[in-house]
Amino acid sequence: MTDLTDNQRLETLRKRLQRTNGLERIRILADLSIAYRETDRTKAIEFATQGLELLENIEDKGLESVILNELCWAYQCIGEYKTALQYGFRNLEVTDITRDEISKSDTYNRIGIIYYKLSNIDQALEYFLKALKIFEESKEILKVSSLLNNIGIIYSDLNDKSSALSYYGRAIEISEEHGCFTNLANSLNNAGSIFRRTDEPEKALAYYQRALKIRETLGERWKIARVLTNIGMIHHDMNNHEKALDCFFRALEIEMEKSDNNDASQTLLSISLSYASTGKYQEAYEYARKGLAYTDGIDSPVIKKRVCQSYSEVCEIIGYFKEALEFHKKYKTLDDEIFTEESSRKINELRVKYESDKKEREAEIYRLRNIELAKANEELKHALAEVKHLSGLLPICASCKKIRDDQGYWKRIESYITDHSEAQFSHGLCPECMMMLYPDYSESPNTTIEEERTC
């Protein structure tokens, strides 16, 4: 969709808003919130909040769920995770009333993402698995692929590369099979990051470039930036710093358009690393400080941890060892807070429970299928037992029309067919034989019931 079309749609919604009241007005406010979802989250929150206030006097739980979901999403995007959680849990209460399992699962997924941003990794996985179970049972295949991708990210952060690639691989397979290209790009991008960490830059670059091509084709401008940063890091690793900086600055331009502090902070630090690696220490330090400043309003330990790690690396390269040590300690503190022994234990328990539950469900499906198959086989056997058919050449007498059976006996045709099929015979006379045998009692052979007459 072009910008002109977006603007026209927004203008239409605003005009409709001015002349509507009641439930229709709330629906338009919800549509406006969704329309501003990517471009202006402050307005998205403003319209959704207005709609939620009006719903206090109107009963429509379905619409309330839509608006709560938008508020949860918008507050998550601007980094106000605790507020986002409040709207997420309110939406769970509403979906309990509406019994909308799909909306509930979407909310589980959203809550899982927020807990991940807050570094509550075990709680994030718990909610992801709740959503995954419902989506698998309801055959929401494309949403299954999204959840598999999210779970892969958890294991990637735990440095369990094998498990992460397994989940990404399943997500890629599903997305390719069902043509869900947005999900496919997400999983390709994340799998590329694993290959980068396993020192397979060529393979990582191939995955990133596939993801970039898909996002460019779909016109997903905001997501293009993240892939460009990742491609830039591969060029950085391969000492292609000119190509790396080109990717970073292209990504930064997009991130500045939508004021995305989360991604911009990490891109700025990536630029800083490239400058430091080429000996441009002054530029490196300036971009590192800018990247650090962008994290002031971010309430995510996961993001802050990555920024501290990158900032420490830059300071070490340019010789600011005191700052390097200070931020390395901050990085380690955040890392230890995120990945505690207790959280790791809980994650392993959740994984075991999920795999066990999945195996039980698969076993039950297999058992039911076997029962159905056995029933079908029994019905088929019964049907075959009742079916007899004639085939092959039948030796028949040219004069009396008797048929010779397998034992060499000649049988009347009706006896033979009765013995070798389910057909039963009744006897009558055809018109020709009737004329020949009983001429006094026969009618014209061309007579039909329609030719009968009454006096």
Give the CATH number, domain containing residue 38.
1.25.40.10
User: Angle 208-159-346 (CA atoms, 0-180°, nearest 5)?
Assistant: 130
Return d(Cα 106, Cα 92) in angstroms, integer: 10
> What pTM did the predictor assign?
0.66
110 falls within a domain: yes
pLDDT tens sequence across 332-376? 888 877 666 556 666 666 665 666 666 666 555 566 666 667 676
Residue 434: is its pLDDT beyond 80? no
Residue 189: is its pLDDT beyond 90? yes
Residue 162: is its pLDDT beyond 60? yes
236 falls within a domain: no
Check residue 393 and give its pLDDT: 60
Check residue 132 and give its pLDDT: 93
Residue 154 neighbours by CB distance under 10 Å: 23
Number of H helices, E strands in the chain: 20, 2
Give me the DSSP letters along 272-305.
HHHHHHTT-HHHHHHHHHHHHHTTTT---HHHHH
327 falls within a domain: no
Check residue 59 and give its pLDDT: 86
As a whole number, the mean pLDDT across the chain is 81
Check residue 2 and give its pLDDT: 41
Tokens (6 digits) for 161: 């590369």
Check residue 438 and give its pLDDT: 40
Return d(Cα 128, Cα 157) in angstroms, integer: 15
pLDDT tens sequence across 229-272? 999 999 999 999 999 999 999 999 998 887 657 788 889 999 99
Check residue 227 and give its pLDDT: 95
Check residue 336 and give its pLDDT: 79
Number of domains in the chain: 2
Check residue 41 and give its pLDDT: 87
Return d(Cα 420, Cα 405) in angstroms, integer: 10
Check residue 449 and give its pLDDT: 25
pLDDT band at 410 (very low <50, low <70, confident <90, very high): confident
Check residue 371 and give its pLDDT: 67
Residue 113: is its pLDDT beyond 90? yes
Residue 340's region, left for phi above 0, alpha for psi from -120 to 50, else beta, is: beta
Residue 433: is its pLDDT beyond 60? no
pLDDT band at 307 (very low <50, low <70, confident <90, very high): confident
**Domain end among 79, 109, 139:** 139
106 falls within a domain: yes
Least confident of 33-47, 192-206, 400-414, 440-454: 440-454
As a whole number, mean pLDDT of residues 384-411 equals: 64
Percentage of the chain exceeding pLDDT 70 = 74
As a whole number, mean pLDDT of residues 171-200 equals: 94
pLDDT band at 440 (very low <50, low <70, confident <90, very high): very low
Residue where the block lists tokens 């799998």: 191
- Give the H/E segment covering residue 368: helix 341-386
As a whole number, mean pLDDT of residues 104-125 equals: 91
Is residue 32 within 8 A of residue 14, CB to CB? The reply is yes
Is residue 127 within 8 A of residue 112, CB to CB? The reply is yes
Check residue 390 and give its pLDDT: 53
**Domain end among 139, 156, 189:** 139
Q: Mean pLDDT: which of 4-18, 239-253, 430-444 is highest?
A: 239-253
| CA nearest to 273, candidates 237, 225, 323 | 237
Check residue 252 and give its pLDDT: 93
- Residue 245's contacts (CB-CB under 8 Å, 6 or more residues apart) are 232, 271, 274, 275
- Residue 443's contacts (CB-CB under 8 Å, 6 or more residues apart) are none
Residue 206 neighbours by CB distance under 10 Å: 15
Is residue 70 within 8 A of residue 44, CB to CB? The reply is yes
Q: Give φ, ψ of 411 to 5 degrees.
A: -120, 150
315 falls within a domain: no
Domain that holds residue 133: 1-139
pLDDT band at 158 (very low <50, low <70, confident <90, very high): confident
User: Angle 328-334-337 (CA atoms, 0-180°, nearest 5)?
Assistant: 140
**Domain end among 103, 118, 139:** 139
pLDDT band at 145 (very low <50, low <70, confident <90, very high): very high
169 falls within a domain: no
pLDDT band at 49 (very low <50, low <70, confident <90, very high): very high
Percentage of the chain exceeding pLDDT 90 = 45
Residue 88: is its pLDDT beyond 60? yes
Eight-class DSSP state of 410:
E
Residue 1: is its pLDDT beyond 50? no
Tokens (6 digits) for 88: 């997420």
226 falls within a domain: no
Return d(Cα 42, Cα 33) in angstroms, integer: 9
Residue 445: is its pLDDT beyond 70? no
127 falls within a domain: yes
As a whole number, mean pLDDT of residues 11-21 equals: 87
